[in-house]
Amino acid sequence: MIDWLRLAETLISSPWLYAVLIAVSFLDSFLPLIPSEPVVIVAGVYAATGQTTIVFVIAATTLGAFLGDLVPYTAGRLLGARVLKRLPPGSKRRAAHDWFTRELDARGGFVLVTTRFIPVGRYLATLSTGLVRYPLGRYLMFIAFATAAWSAYTALTGYLGGVLFQENTLLAMAVGVGLAFVVTGFIEVVRRVRAEPVTSPQQPRP
């Protein structure tokens, strides 16, 4: 397995670093074991010392993540018809499918943007949007914003750590990763608070 973090540190002063950022953020969009956040944070830390360019770090990461989010969506579209055939009307699974479709119609942007910051959530959301055949145009618009926001936030947390602790690279990385966990946790709490509980309709009394 490729050690992406070590590879990024080896190429930190090379233009090939941006190719690594594109690749790691692309793969992380549908492969949970690929650690994109630490790699992007490291690139942000070194941007504070001038060894990388923060704008290029954000642009490369955004591009890779945007292209990567198309993979699970496309897979979901291709599998959607087969999945729907296995969800008979009236079943609980069909009800869950229909509920998620309505949720996306009502708040698709919120779902796609917030789940982009949650590693497991992003895979489930992008795959599910394909399964329910969420409109491609709206999907592209929302993931463009989501991946740009995620890339900027991840890179800038590293950059902030690098600015505050320029003489201690390891501490700067630790601060960057810590900030990333704190903000990600906050976003997940907000998402859970805003999520409306699903209640089954009450049966009329005889």
DSSP secondary structure of 78-107: HHHHHHHHTS-TTSHHHHHHHHHHHHHHHH
Q: What is the C-alpha to C-alpha distance for residues 155 and 159, in angstroms, rounded to an integer? A: 6
| CA-closest candidate to residue 69, choices 136, 132, 7 | 136
pLDDT of residue 192: 57
pLDDT at residue number 176? 46
Q: What residue segments make up the domains of the chain, in order of their start?
A: 4-194
Low-confidence ranges of the chain (pLDDT < 50): 165, 168-169, 172-173, 176, 180, 197-206
The separation between the first and the last C-alpha atoms of the chain, rounded to the nearest angstrom, is 63
Give residue 117's pLDDT.
Answer: 82
CA distance 125 to 108: 10
**How far is C-alpha 122 from the geometric centre of its chain's CA atoms?**
5
For residue 186, what pLDDT is reported? 56
